[in-house]
Amino acid sequence: MHCVQNISSHIYWVGGNDRRLELFENMFPLPGGVCYNSFMIMDEKTALVDTVDQSISRQFMENITEVLGGRNLDYLVINHMEPDHCANIEEMVRRYPSVKIVGNKKTFQMIEQFYNFDFEMNMLEVKEGDVLMLGEHSLKFFFAPMVHWPEVMFTYEMTEKILFSADAFGSFGALSGNIFSDESDFECTFAEEARRYYANIVGKFGQQVQTIMKKLSQWEIKMICPLHGPIWRNNIDYIIGKYDLWSRYEPEKKGVLLVYASMYGNTENVMNVIANSLAKKGVSHMHMYDVSKTHPSYIISDAWKFSHIVFGSPTYNLGLYYGMENVMKDMAALQFQNRKVALVGNGSWAPRAGKAMEEILCSMKNVELICQPFEITSSMKGKQQQLLDEFTARIIESMK
């Protein structure tokens, strides 16, 4: 049976959900599953905006058949060629042989890479700013390269002022019947997953996000339809504001993220002492993670959230503990920047962790080391309490 909803009188959501998938891109945990959004515009001409992942192809095809009601599909708009959105292109052409595939030059290069069917007769190449008339509805195309693939474009429906935004403004998490952000408790259900999605999937390309947002700023937007997560029709400034902040690598709130590795609990103990000291000094927003227990995507998401970070790690094999090294190198690869950082190093016989962490941080833009690393040898001693008090005082001072 079909699962279709109207997002306006002539535009339909024809997507679906996958709650069985464990890892997004076989890498990021999906405790709440994921949704794949696709949209059908019914006018003098019909247009489908993107397809879905092959895991929900059957549901998707039932949705399309229901909405078309026997009509032909005239256009298939491809905003993004990642397989979780382009998996059904060949099937759509097989079912609707006269359909025109709407994309840019790079779109068709990627179709050729992913598929083996002859699509030359179905091609309709568009350029930046081109407009496709469907009847009462008109589609205008804005190129958004590297948000977060090179072929990405946004489609703007000019009559109802709806932005089909590819992977931008999306979120992890399946939809539970309610497809609009204002129908759910977004802050409790999706806010953290929207940031985790942005930081880990789009985060590296902040400058490109800024570019497309400036390009769109002159256009009124009444609805945003991303390829993942709920649709925005109210309080649109909220998600646009978040993307502006995240893409400038500016923190959402003043607070401290504490990230540690600990083999036998000694480094963990120091981090707990630091957190306790900061709490007593009035720091109200803190979150602590053990890199060995928490997937890096959650840590990186909170790194985008907080203004200050304390990393603590033991030395391991004359280098940095592997879990900590992975997290920090992931952050560097994502172009993480504009934060204030303090370090805790531990070493029993050849201390190296503090220096190794500092070397990674030096590769990040505008990451300020607040003070010299707080170093312990195997475990913290009582005589180091004054040094630790000075360490936390420097963190507090830097937050003013």
Q: CATH code at 34?
A: 3.60.15.10
pTM for the model stands at 0.95
Residue 179 sits in the same domain as residue 111: yes
Residue 147 sits in the same domain as residue 266: no
Residue 128 sits in the same domain as residue 51: yes
Count of structural domains, the chain: 2
Q: Which residues of 1-14 are buried (b: 16+ CB within 10 A; e: fewer)?
A: eebbeebbebbbbb
pLDDT computed for residue 369 by the predictor? 96
Residue 93 sits in the same domain as residue 206: yes
pLDDT computed for residue 289 by the predictor? 98
306 part of a folded domain: yes
Instruction: Kindly tell me if the per-residue pLDDT of 220 is higher than 90.
Output: yes
Residue 344 sits in the same domain as residue 220: no
Residue 377 sits in the same domain as residue 325: yes
Please report, rounded to a whole number, the percentage of residues in the chain having pLDDT higher than 90: 96
Domain span holding position 81: 5-247
261 part of a folded domain: yes
Residue 223 sits in the same domain as residue 274: no
Residue 203 sits in the same domain as residue 260: no
The CATH number of the domain holding residue 363 is 3.40.50.360
Residue 242 sits in the same domain as residue 266: no
Tell me which residue of 370, 317, 310 sits closest to 345, measured CA to CA.
310
Model confidence pLDDT, tens digit, residues 313-322: 999 999 999 9
- Residues whose CB falls within 8 Å of the CB of residue 138, separated by 6 or more in sequence, listed in order: 131, 132, 157, 158, 159
Instruction: Kindly tell me if the per-residue pLDDT of 332 is higher than 80.
Output: yes
Residue 311 sits in the same domain as residue 219: no
Model confidence pLDDT, tens digit, residues 342-390: 999 999 988 999 999 999 999 999 999 999 999 999 998 999 999 999 9
142 part of a folded domain: yes
Residue 86 DSSP label:
H
400 part of a folded domain: no
The 3 state secondary structure assigned to 305-370 is HEEEEEEEEEEECCEECHHHHHHHHHHHHCCCCCEEEEEEEECCCCCCHHHHHHHHHCCCCCEEEC
Residue 47 DSSP label:
E
233 part of a folded domain: yes
**Mean pLDDT value of segment 248-275:** 97
Residue 266 sits in the same domain as residue 238: no
pLDDT computed for residue 1 by the predictor? 76
Q: How confident is the model at residue 2 (pLDDT cuts 50, 70, 90)?
A: confident
Q: How confident is the model at residue 184 (pLDDT cuts 50, 70, 90)?
A: confident
